[in-house]
């Protein structure tokens, strides 16, 4: 596709529950990035992939966060045992070169 697609649009979880977010990058893009945007507008980088391989995971809270990009499947970001502070909008972006194209985001609310 010509746009990055993210599902679901909204996700509500109770504290301690699992959350799984999906991202379909633009066809032909080799790089996928996940960012977290918290209420103060700050973007935090989480993880990036080059095709199905992890490229950079320096931003990932590894205890509870995991991500995958498998061939012929949407990429996913999973949060085990969600905490209140995980409430944010999660953006996926893809690129083939300099420009990163962002999806519409998934708003995660942890109650």
Please report, as ranges, the residues that interact with another protein according to CB under 8 A.
Answer: 4, 31, 33, 35, 40-43, 45, 48, 50, 55-56, 59, 91, 93, 95, 97-105
Closest distance to another protein from the beta carbon of 107 (Å): 9
Q: Which is nearer to another protein, 22 or 45 (CB)?
A: 45
Q: Which residue lies nearer to another protein by CB, 17 or 22?
A: 22
| CB of 46 closer than 8 Å to CB of 65 | yes
- Residue with Cβ nearer another protein (19 or 103): 103
Q: Are residues 24 and 44 in contact, defined by beta-carbon separation less than 8 angstroms?
A: no
Cα–Cα distance measured from residue 79 to residue 24, given in angstroms and rounded to the nearest whole number: 18
Closest distance to another protein from the beta carbon of 45 (Å): 4
Min dist CB 35 to another protein, Å, is 8
Say how far apart CA 15 and CA 10 lie, in whole Å: 16
Residue 20 or 101: the one with the smaller Cβ distance to another protein is: 101
Residues 6+ apart with CB under 8 A from 25: 4, 32, 75, 92, 94
């Amino acid at each position: 596709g010509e746009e990055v697609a993210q599902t679901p649009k909204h996700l509500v979880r109770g504290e301690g529950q699992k959350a799984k977010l999906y991202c379909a990058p633009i066809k032909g893009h080799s790089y996928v990035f996940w960012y977290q945007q918290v209420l103060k507008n700050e973007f935090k980088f989480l993880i990036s992939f080059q095709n199905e391989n992890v490229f950079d995971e320096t931003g990932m809270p590894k205890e509870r966060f995991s991500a995958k990009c498998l061939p012929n499947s949407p990429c996913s970001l999973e949060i085990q045992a969600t905490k209140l502070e995980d409430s944010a909008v999660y953006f996926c972006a893809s690129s083939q070169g300099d420009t990163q194209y962002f999806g519409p985001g998934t708003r995660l609310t942890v109650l």
